[in-house]
Amino acid sequence: MAKFYLRRELLSFGVWHYHAMNTMEQILTSAEAGKRLNLSSERVRQLERMGQLHAIRTTNGIRLFTASAVEEFRRRRQQHRETR
């Protein structure tokens, strides 16, 4: 598993945004990933537990998702829907 060094930046109203260091990859929280996939954050966490969506775990257990992993999952889900 690749290691990511994350920098946490405080936005407004106590909202944190994570940036992967040494890479241009965008990092998303489960809520942000859910918005991109039109799913709840709980469903995103469930998909991660099932191994269908890869997450990076911070030392305190927060799941973070790369934008490319979310996009790949979205493509696979769309292909699955089209083949039914």
User: What is the per-residue pLDDT across 15-51, written as a single tens digit (0 to 9) for each?
Assistant: 455 555 555 678 889 999 999 999 999 999 999 999 9
Q: How many degrees, rounded to 5, is the angle at CA 62 between CA 80 and CA 77?
A: 5
Examine the pLDDT at 9 and tell me if it is beyond 70. no
Whole-Å CA distances, 29 to 19, 35, 56, 75: 11, 10, 10, 19
Q: How far apart are CA 5 and CA 19, in angstroms?
A: 8
pTM of the model: 0.71
Average of per-residue pLDDT values in the chain: 79
Examine the pLDDT at 13 and tell me if it is beyond 50. no
- For the four alpha carbons of 71, 32, 2 and 9, in that order, the dihedral sign comes to positive
